Amino acid sequence: MSAPPCRFCAAPLQHTFADLGMSPLSNAYLQREQLGQMEPFYPLHAFVCERCLLVQLEQFERPENIFGNYAYFSSYSVSWLDHARQYVEEMVERFTLGASSLVVEIASNDGYLLQYFQARGIPVLGLEPARNVAKVAQEKGISTLTEFFGARIAKGLSAGGQQADLIVANNVLAHVPDLNDFVGGLKLLLKFGGTITIEVPHLLRLIEGCQFDTIYHEHFSYFSLLTLDEVFRKHGLTVFDVDKLSTHGGSLRLYIRHANAGEPVLQSVRLTEMRHLECAAGMDRLETYLDLEEKVREIKRGLLEFLIDTKKRGKSIAAYGAPAKGNTLLNYCGIGKDFIDYTVDLSPHKQGLFLPGTHIPILHPDTLRRTKPDYVLLLPWNLRDEILEQLRDVRGAGSRCVVPIPTVHVIE
């Protein structure tokens, strides 16, 4: 079988970054009546391109089937709302946004971020392909189109006079199968002199922290700054600044503008430092990307040893959260209801459903207070501090929280 092509540069993909076996779509939560039906599993095999060093998965499902009806609502994370609010404050001041500006967010979810721009009297437009999620934003009065973004949509908006002063794309670039069409659309939609900000989980942090659970079918690509530089340069865009963020286990926020936007682009000291940091870590060399698999297997073995020993001692284990990353972890490690009695989630859109593959039930967080499990496995470990605060009374009643990555850590 011929090697699949790189989604950016089209070189054949011949090198494995991490092969996590077969897995269901990580956001394909199940209704009770679906538990006896056939469940599709796909290869969860991440490759690295030897030419441009883009880490990526093959596409097995159309985006419409993944994101047409989505279970993730951003507004159920307090820390993510705080992140959005702070971002809006910074951007309004930095780029002098006001009533004559237009802010467009791609993958705007339930209006979690645009609501803060709108409250300041700044015109906004969201693009959110999941109709059930977009409906929530529309009910808040936030103008939202239910469309997948790309060059076609960008041309239409631009022709209608809706070019953006600021384009926001938080944690969406990884979800894009046609990377060149998406970035080309950004260029078309961006006003001359405008700015794009993009937040992506940082591939360097994934490798350093062995955060393999952030690999799932809904994430088509995984990015370093060095590779993103190439991607945007190809489309006539220039990265001129970068922020290092703590979100999603370690992320980057890139600031991007037209390459020909008048005066020479002054690149920040932070950008130069981040490029040097990535080069020092070997992110410009193929061999750096080929050492992850054995580390992933060691994490799997360590977590299973902990769970087996815990169950042998007659202890009960529940989980907290139903994030996509948790489904990668559970399915790759073969952890099901034989180890985890149930999981809980704050989102009512997930409660009453079952995790894909493992069929672990998703219940209301009050279940923890009622059943008092000995251990609670934190699946969204990137929200550890927020969750520990929410579970203060649960921990006070004797339950101990467990962080699974990069090694099993029991929080006393």
Per-residue pLDDT of the chain (412 residues; tens, 9 = 90+): 678 999 999 999 999 999 999 999 988 999 999 999 999 999 999 999 999 999 999 987 665 555 555 555 666 677 888 999 999 999 999 999 999 999 999 999 889 999 999 999 999 999 998 888 889 889 999 999 998 999 999 999 999 999 999 999 999 999 999 999 999 999 999 999 999 999 999 999 999 999 999 999 989 999 999 999 999 999 999 999 999 998 878 999 999 999 987 655 667 899 999 999 999 999 999 999 999 999 999 999 999 999 999 999 999 999 999 999 999 999 999 999 999 999 999 989 899 999 999 999 999 999 999 999 999 999 999 889 989 999 999 999 999 999 999 999 999 8
CATH number of 292-411: 3.40.50.720
Joined together, the tokens standing for residue 28 give: 């394909």
Orientation of helix 179-189 relative to helix 225-234, angle to 10°: 60
pTM of the model: 0.90
CA distances from 105 to 77, 166, 199, 317 (A): 19, 8, 12, 40
Residue 377: alpha-carbon gap to chain centroid: 20
Q: Say whether 200 sits in a helix, a strand or coil.
A: strand
**Dihedral angle computed from the Cα positions of residues 49, 219, 330 and 322, in that order, rounded to the nearest 10 degrees:** 160
Residue 385 tokens read as 């501090």
Residue 86's φ and ψ, nearest 5 degrees, are: -65, -40
Domain ranges (residues) in the chain: 74-289, 292-411
Task: Give the integer Cα–Cα distance in Å for 156 and 150.
Answer: 10
pLDDT in the model for residue 368: 97
Structural contact between residues 237 and 196, judged by C-beta atoms closer than 8 angstroms? yes
Structure tokens at 395: 């921990």
- Strand 375-378 to 251-258 pairing: unpaired
Distance separating the N- and C-terminal Cα atoms of the chain: 51
The whole-number pLDDT of residue 323 equals 93
Q: What CATH code is assigned to 74-289?
A: 3.40.50.150
CB 278 within 8 A of CB 204: yes
How far apart (Å, rounded) are the C-alpha atoms in residues 348 and 29? 13
In whole angstroms, what is the distance from residue 341 CA to residue 269 CA?
50
Tell me 261's DSSP state.
S
